[in-house]
Structure 1
Amino acid sequence: MVKSKTLVGRLCYRHWPTALVLLCLLVLYYFHTLYDISYLRDQVADGQWWRVFSGQFVHNNSSHLFSNMAALLLCRVLLSIVYSERDFTLSLLSCAFLTGVLIHFLLPSYDYYLGVSAALYGVLIAGALAMWRGRPYAGASLFVLVIAKLSLDYLVPDSVAPVSDRIGVPVAVEAHFVGVFAGVLVGVGEAALGLIRPAALPPK
């Protein structure tokens, strides 16, 4: 395989899982304009369970999409010290699935939801827990910053009003907290697997 000599080509070659996720967000955004694949509680109740997952990856408008794509890239950079490309992608998918399921069961007032932001909060928390094992101060700092940001959003609703105006839907602060809960579950699971994996390896 011939590697691209351009900077963008090298980045896409090295970080192709993240690039693929971003491409999927673009494709799903277009598909969503043709057929609504967001989380819809009544449709899920009718058996369309896939919406708890698909709703995490579609967006209301281009501003919503591109701001979340930028946030995803920022998360990838922040967590590059603890997550490989594969692990970051698996963490994102796990957080997205768990967030969708938890929204369905823990937030009965949510009849409609879309956007990857809650899953990204989950990834940040899972990454903070991963950092905690090797870089406790960095992990604790990231954890506290995420919780502080969400607490501000919840306690001072006016702080997210400009974002709501830009993306065309209310900022789902409660869903973001659910994403944090999903991140804790994923982070604990990753830590458990990290303890199990060495025992499965052949002796040196």
Structure 2
Amino acid sequence: MKFTVKNLPFAKQHSLLVLTVAFLAILAFLFDTALSTPLVYQQQLISQGELWRIFTGHFLHTNGFHLLLNLAALILLWALHGQFYSLKNYSLLFISSALTCSAGLYFFSPDIRQYVGLSGVLHGIFIFGAMMDIHHKDKTGYLLFIGVWLKIAHEQFYGASEDVSALIDASVAIDAHLWGAVGGLIFSGMYFLYHLKSKKKTKSS
């Protein structure tokens, strides 16, 4: 698809929640001093019952570069796949990816005691977009789907880029990318099953 300003998905249902996520991330960064302590993902505090941190931590960032990188990715994914977004599916996708990412970190990556950033959720959103491309018979969807899993596998075997770690002034939580992508995959599978059942019911009625 050729990208022009005209074919970008500016409609409210496609863009409102993307803008909301960006706004909340920027707001959290501006008030980081006040918000980071009560909202950051911290394994120990979550185990003590502060469960909201499994969601709120995704909106916090280590520095301005970290925020800008994630916002750029958020907007790029919207430009690529925003036509598939709706208020309902994007909110459920975001929540599913965020919670799966945090649950994966908590149960399977206990060495990560603190985590911030949208990157895990963004991998889930990426998976959904690629699968929607595939569903709509866009061959680039296969390339995107395979490419993101190859990237994740490379990170798992060889670690994250040292340049990126230096830029964001923190270790890149590569496991967050893995679990966020798993969250996006699970949501996408359930999304397609739901719509497949809905179509069967419509045809039979």
Same fold (TM over 0.5): yes
Q: Provide the residue aligned with 2:108 in structure 1.
A: 106
Task: Name the CA distance, whole Å, in 1 between partners of 2:27 and 2:200.
Answer: 41
Question: Aligned ranges for residues 1-204 of structure 1 at < 5 Å?
Answer: 11=10, 15-35=15-35, 36=37, 37-84=39-86, 86-135=88-137, 137-157=139-159, 160-198=161-199
Deviation at 1:13, TM superposition (A): 5.9
Question: 1:139-173: CA deviations, max 9, x gaps?
Answer: 2211111012223333333x610110010110111
Tell me, in whole angstroms, the C-alpha distance in 2 between the residues paired with 1:33 and 1:201: 52
SS of residue in 2 equivalent to 1:80: helix
Are the aligned partners of 1:117 and 1:176 in contact in 2 as well (CA < 8 Å)? Answer: yes
CA shift digits 1:40-63 (9 cap, x unpaired): 011001100111111112111111
- Deviation of 1:80 after TM superposition, in Å, equals 2.7
Q: In the alignment, is the contact (CA less than 8 A) between 2:97 and 2:182 conserved in 1? A: no
Tell me how far 1:196 sits from its aligned partner. 3.2
TM-score calculated relative to the size of structure 2: 0.83
Instruction: Report how far residue 85 of structure 1 moved.
Output: 5.3
Residue 200 to residue 67, structure 1, CA distance change in 2 (3 Å) = same
Which consecutive residues of structure 2, in runs of 5 or more, have no partner in the other structure?
Answer: 1-5
CA distance in 1, matches of 2:193, 2:10: 31
- Unpaired runs of at least 5, structure 1: 1-6
Compute the TM-score of the two structures, normalised by the length of structure 1.
0.83
Query: 1:21, 1:106 → 2: CA distance?
Result: 27
Contact residue 52 and residue 97 of structure 1 kept, 8 A: yes
**Relative to structure 2, which stretch is displaced further, 110-119 or 97-106?**
97-106
Contact residue 39 and residue 54 of structure 1 kept, 8 A = yes
Deviation at 1:94, TM superposition (A): 2.2
CA deviation vs aligned residue, 1:165-195 (integer Å, no higher than 9, x gap): 0101101112211111111111111112212
Q: Deviations over 1:45-102 (max 9, x none)?
A: 1100111111112111111111101110111112134334553343223211221122
Q: How far apart are the structure 1 equivalents of 2:151 and 2:161?
A: 11
Q: Which amino acid aligns with 1:193?
A: Y
Q: Whole-Å Cα distance in 2 between the matches of residues 41 and 109 of structure 1?
A: 9
Q: What is the distance in 1 between the residues matched to 2:138 and 2:92?
A: 23
Write the distance in 2 (CA, Å) between the matches of 1:183 and 1:17: 17
How large is the Cα RMSD of the aligned pairs?
2.6
In 1, Cα distance between equivalents of 2:193 and 2:59: 27
Question: What is the letter of the counterpart of residue 25 of structure 1?
Answer: A
Distance 2:82 2:98 in 1: 19
Deviates more, 1:140-149 or 1:190-199: 190-199
In 2, Cα distance between equivalents of 1:202 and 1:177: 38
CA distance in 2, matches of 1:81, 1:90: 16
User: What amino acid maps onto 1:34 in structure 2?
Assistant: A
Which consecutive segments of 4 or more residues in structure 1 shift more than 4 A? 10-14, 199-204
Equivalent position of 1:4 in the other structure: none
